[in-house]
Amino acid sequence: MQATRREFLYFSLFYAAVTLFGTGLYVVHDRLPEVPLHLAGEVLATTLSLGVFLVLWYASQWSERLEHYVLGVFFLGVAVLNLFYALSVPALPDFVLANSSAKALFFWVGGRLFAAAGLFCGGMTGETRRTTSALRYLLVGLGLVATAAFTTVAFKFGSVLGSVSSGTANLSSTAGNIELIAALLTGGAAVRYALKYLRSGELLYLMMVRVTGVFLASTVSSLLAIHGSEFFNYLAHIYKLVAFFLLFHAIFLVAVKEPFLRLLQVQENLRWVNENLDTLVSLRTADLRAVNERLRRAATTDYLTGALNRRYFLQKAQEVMLQAKVIRRPFSVLMMDIDGFKKINDTLGHQVGDQCLQQLVILAKANLRQNDVIGRYGGDEFAVLLPQADAQEAASVAERVIAAVAQNANPPFTISVGIASFPQHGDSVEEILAAADAALYGAKHSGRNQYFIYEPQPAAV
């Protein structure tokens, strides 16, 4: 709460400074060249708006949050409308159609409406919503279509907005209504960003509260200028430029500067590690080896049985498949599980069930060939890779494992085994595993405590 009050005080002082600057500029405006000053201000506003879009667009490595892209797309439209406004004032050569105060005014309020809508829509979009590349391009397309439509209306029907005469901001009722809508949208955006900041404490939202506050002041000043106050017209321009600068600063800080500083910190950490690596290794070699071995086992093996875990087993299966295709040799897969395993758990307890799983792996490994690999596929289901073994060779291995389990398991239990081979039963790891699983079901269905070689179902006529 204290930080919030301090931030409010800082913002109030900043707002007062901006107002004082705008007042001073108004006092001396008669001594300044009007057209160059106008062009400089609008070119700066256009540059800042385009900068907001570009930073947000290319910041996908920082964030893919939808709220940022929505804001960026609206400010792409703001950049276009600001540029057209700068080129449409009567003191400049005609731009597309004859320049007039009405045409310039239409682009002026249009740019402000787009800015207010961008702030509001960005604020209303949820923080957790993510975007995709296709959605980002769709948003840009929609933004460009909306900008083109507004530009067409401005060129064709700009006269409905009234005019500005004798250097006085004489806004029509239509322009006043648009400014009122912009003020309401900006006020809603300010409330929404304040709520987001209070909920998340994220720096960007606090900075967006500042942006919406200054832009709201610009909109209110523009509304007051309806009554012919050139002073408030100047303030509206100054506040708009400051709001755009604050927005660009906020986006640049969060999207570029902070990630860059984090990268520098990471690089500094890496440099320190590299400089001290020899010392660290010499002091902790034994410990590092032990840790690395534990990490390797944790990443590749099932903690209960010592068999490969499913992820690493599938990786080995892909390697065996690639080798089989290169050397044009078969390989087989055994899919096995314990018969009546649920009954063992229910009657003897899960601790005994775990012991049965461990015994199965030990007995299976004792009867596999040197290069065979066993992995826990899920629950009480285990898969065995048999490189360079056809279905008949796999059946011999399955017989040994089934017999060893039936003779040595304590408490007694039996297993069923399904067999599938490459290329006979499939051309991919997924197909072979699915065939072996189907064969396991066949072994269960045929009476258990046996193996079953996969038999493809005949195609339906």
SS (H, E, C) 206-271: HHHHHHHHHHHHHHHHHHHHHHCCHHHHHHHHHHHHHHHHHHHHHHHHHHHHHHHHHHHHHHHHHH
User: Given this model, what pLDDT does residue 218 score?
Assistant: 85
What are the pLDDT digits (tens) for 400-432? 999 999 999 999 999 999 999 999 999 999 999
**For residues 212 and 119, is the Cβ–Cβ distance under 8 A?**
yes
Q: 209 and 317 share a domain?
A: no
**Is 292 inside a domain boundary?**
no
Last residue of a domain, which of 226, 245, 261?
A: 261
Q: 220 and 314 share a domain?
A: no
- The span from the CA of 425 to the CA of 334, in Å, is 13
Q: 37 and 157 share a domain?
A: yes
Q: 247 and 382 share a domain?
A: no
Give the total number of structural domains in the chain.
Answer: 2
**Is 294 inside a domain boundary?**
no
What are the pLDDT digits (tens) for 323-358? 999 999 999 999 999 999 999 999 999 999 999 999
CA dihedral 420, 424, 430, 436 (to 10 degrees): -10
- The span from the CA of 331 to the CA of 334, in Å, is 10
Q: Which amino acid is at 42?
A: E
Last residue of a domain, which of 227, 261, 295?
A: 261
User: Given this model, what pLDDT does residue 331 score?
Assistant: 95
Q: Nearest Cα to 191, choosing from 169, 223, 220, 213? A: 213
Last residue of a domain, which of 226, 261, 296?
A: 261
Is the predicted pLDDT of residue 22 greater than 70, yes or no?
Answer: no
Q: 256 and 330 share a domain?
A: no
How big is the CA angle at 144 (ends 142 and 145), to the nearest 5 degrees?
65
What are the pLDDT digits (tens) for 281-299? 676 776 767 777 777 777 8
Q: Which residue has the higher pLDDT, 162 or 320?
A: 320
**Is 221 inside a domain boundary?**
yes
Q: 253 and 337 share a domain?
A: no
Q: 197 and 314 share a domain?
A: no
**Is 300 inside a domain boundary?**
no
Q: 245 and 320 share a domain?
A: no
**Is 295 inside a domain boundary?**
no
Q: 207 and 344 share a domain?
A: no
What's the CATH number where 148 sits? 1.20.1070
**Is 138 inside a domain boundary?**
yes
Q: 32 and 137 share a domain?
A: yes
Say whether pTM exceeds 0.75.
no
**Is 303 inside a domain boundary?**
no
- The span from the CA of 63 to the CA of 257, in Å, is 14
Q: 129 and 41 share a domain?
A: yes
What are the pLDDT digits (tens) for 135-161? 888 888 898 898 888 888 777 765 444
Mean pLDDT is highest, among 203-212, 245-254, 323-332, for: 323-332
**For residues 161 and 172, is the Cβ–Cβ distance under 8 A?**
yes
The DSSP symbol for 202 reads: -
**For residues 82 and 49, is the Cβ–Cβ distance under 8 A?**
yes
**For residues 203 and 149, is the Cβ–Cβ distance under 8 A?**
no
Q: Nearest Cα to 175, choosing from 145, 154, 146, 149? A: 154
Is the predicted pLDDT of residue 165 greater than 50, yes or no?
Answer: no
Q: 119 and 181 share a domain?
A: yes
- The span from the CA of 432 to the CA of 434, in Å, is 5
Cα–Cα distance list, 43 to 81, 91, 181 (Å): 11, 16, 25
What's the CATH number where 327 sits? 3.30.70.270
**Is 268 inside a domain boundary?**
no
> Which range marks the domain in which residue 54 is found?
2-261
